[in-house]
Amino acid sequence: MKLVIIGAVAGGASAAARARRLDEEAEIILFERGEAPSFANCGLPYYVGGVIEDRNDLLVSPKQRLIDRYRLDVRTRAEVLRIDRDQKCVHVRDLTTNEEYQQAYDKIVLSPGAAPLRPPIPGADLPTVYTLRDLSDADRLREAASDAKQAVVIGAGFVGLEMTENLVHLGIKTTVVEMADQILPPWDAEMVAPIANHLREKGVHLKLSDAANAIEYKSAEKSGSQLAVKLKSGETLTADFVVMSVGVRPENQLAVDAGLEVGPRGGIRVNESMQTSDPDIYAAGDAVEVRHVVDGSPCQIPLGGPANRQGRLAADHIFGRPGLYRGTQGTAVVGVFDMTATMTGFSEKALLAAELAYEKIYIHPAHHAGYYPGAQQLSLKLLFSLDTGKILGAEAVGRSGVDKRIDVLAVAIQAGMTVYDLEEMELAYAPQYGSAKDPINMAGFVAAGVLRGDQPIVHSSDLLAGSIDPSTYLLDVRSPGEFAAGHIKGATNIPLEELRSRLEEVPADGAIIVYCQVGQRGYSATRILLQKDREVSNLSGGYLTYLAQQNT
């Protein structure tokens, strides 16, 4: 077997190592255009910011280790120019000597990754406008940041916000420009509104619903000159350098030139065994189009975990091992200073785009037992099928414990579980780690209660959009102090503890919406009023979710 792997890092390096473990005699040739065949690209922003001090710490498997440990033929600074499927060879250029040669293959694993986008605006290619993909990019950015005072980050996705945090740590005044009306566009806006506020508290200037129209030097003396970033809104920002993080595009040119099938967004099409339209050519990583776990629709989700699994599975299939790729569900986590945003499965906006029926609930529990010191509130949004209760997606945001909960929900989606299963989950509990009724259980209780009719709900988005009948009676069951500190316009305050004795004040006819701070007291009030024959619904997530929705 002569196996050629094009592109290393996550998918390609995983395929190479797995291939060697499965076949000691195979000839495995790994081509990598860059200097390092296996590095931690997710750690690059933290190297720029000095959190990771030693550059060598980013080298997951240095070249010589791959050679010595796995007996691989590792060729760095080697660019594959073309795949000749008829002759079953690849044309390669040695980027050090500029010499070209051919390499025969029996099977190929394509793992070219995805390249950062540069928007087609004047000045996007200026020397001090950077993207971040590999170690050399990180070296240039680290040098640029060493004596900078001001920076502009264009794009508020994963890399954009990670870069922003690290630039602020370096004392650089940072402005983030985002075309969408929210940060972290894959998330639903109300869930990441608290993180946007947290960024502002840290001194970050957010320019949402705006975009860069042009980038130019501020003075005629271009060398060492600051940049002027001209925005669509008419504002001009000053920066010592700019970081572009507006997304990525699959590096699919080799596949296209070879006549392999690609999807409408450019992803290389593969089957469940990671084979392309040519059964002798496999593909893995950020360049491929796969199926979404939730509904089987084609998708492109560039994440390191799926890339590693895809590369491993491709090697398995090449060497006769059974196994099928289940699909990608987009389980993701990003840290922003001391807050964390996580998601898995479909967001609400994705469900709307796919025209899938769903219901949602919000909860805001503590990440561990409230009586134990240090409990931090988290926010969790659960999306599920109205018919079956099957979990379709989830998002969690907070300071502690959110990654743990999203991982549980990611497994639940993989297993096809329902909200009823969440009620019954047995999870580790001690007061410093969780609660006897874990937030996962609580999400199951609330969602299952909605489906059973135990607590009809309404949503803040509907209330704010004006789609609720204005004659609806709004009942705030918080304390008078909470009510005085802020409430929904037009609400009447009857604390939960007084509700039974003041039932005559609650209308016997017409719709009623009950709310509290996070939904729990609202649920209790809803149960009381339902059993008193009132037409009542609880505001999911309470006043806290209402405020988050109001700020989007």
Picking from 246, 281, 298, the residue at the C-terminal end of a domain is 246
Q: Is 368 a domain residue?
A: yes
- Tell me: pLDDT of 221 over 80: no
Q: What mean pLDDT is predicted for residues 462-491?
A: 96
Same domain, 135 and 228: yes
Domain extent for 445: 338-452
For position 552, what pLDDT does the model report? 85
**What's the token pair of residue 521?**
């007291």
User: Is 516 designated active site?
Assistant: no
Q: Is 118 a domain residue?
A: no
Picking from 452, 477, 503, the residue at the C-terminal end of a domain is 452
Q: What mean pLDDT is predicted for residues 36-52?
A: 91
Pairing of strands 100-104, 89-94: antiparallel
Same domain, 174 and 203: yes
For position 459, what pLDDT does the model report? 97
For position 39, what pLDDT does the model report? 86
**What's the token pair of residue 207?**
């320019």
Question: For residue 475, what are the β-bridge partners?
Answer: 492, 514
Q: Is 333 a domain residue?
A: no
The helix/strand/coil state of 305 is: helix
State the burial class of residue 469 (Cβ atoms within 10 Å of its Cβ: 0-12, 13-18, 19+): exposed
Cα distances (Å, whole numbers) of residue 302 to 158, 307, 308, 312:
11, 8, 11, 16
Q: What mean pLDDT is predicted for residues 512-526?
A: 97
Q: Residue 483 belongs to a domain with what CATH number? A: 3.40.250.10
Is-contact 9 109, C-beta < 8 A?
A: no
- Tell me: pLDDT of 78 over 70: yes
Same domain, 85 and 149: no
Q: What mean pLDDT is predicted for residues 95-123?
A: 95
Confidence class of residue 37 from pLDDT cuts 50, 70 and 90?
confident
Quote the CA–CA distance of 538 and 456 in Å, as a whole number.
Answer: 6
List pLDDT tens digits, range 122-160: 999 999 999 999 999 999 999 999 999 999 999 999 999
Quote the CA–CA distance of 329 and 380 in Å, as a whole number.
Answer: 18
List pLDDT tens digits, range 309-325: 999 999 999 999 988 99
Question: How far separated are the first and last CA of the chain, in Å rounded?
Answer: 56
pTM of the shown model: 0.93
Same domain, 136 and 189: yes
Tell me which residue has tokens 């000045």. 123
Q: Is 342 a domain residue?
A: yes
Same domain, 447 and 471: no
- Tell me: pLDDT of 328 over 90: yes
Question: Of 316, 318, 178, which Cα lies nearest the Cα of 243?
Answer: 178
Same domain, 237 and 254: no
Confidence class of residue 222 from pLDDT cuts 50, 70 and 90?
low
Single out the catalytic residue among 42, 89, 299, 516.
42
Same domain, 195 and 92: no
List pLDDT tens digits, range 48-61: 999 999 999 998 88
The structural domain count of the chain equals: 4
Q: What mean pLDDT is predicted for residues 475-484?
A: 98
Same domain, 414 and 266: no
The helix/strand/coil state of 159 is: helix
- Tell me: pLDDT of 220 over 80: no
Question: Of 332, 163, 327, which Cα lies nearest the Cα of 239?
Answer: 163
Long-range pairs of 16-19 with CB within 8 A, sequence gap ≥ 24: 16/66, 16/70, 16/72, 16/311, 16/315, 17/61, 17/66, 17/70, 18/311, 18/312, 18/315, 18/316, 19/315, 19/318, 19/319
- Tell me: pLDDT of 349 over 80: yes
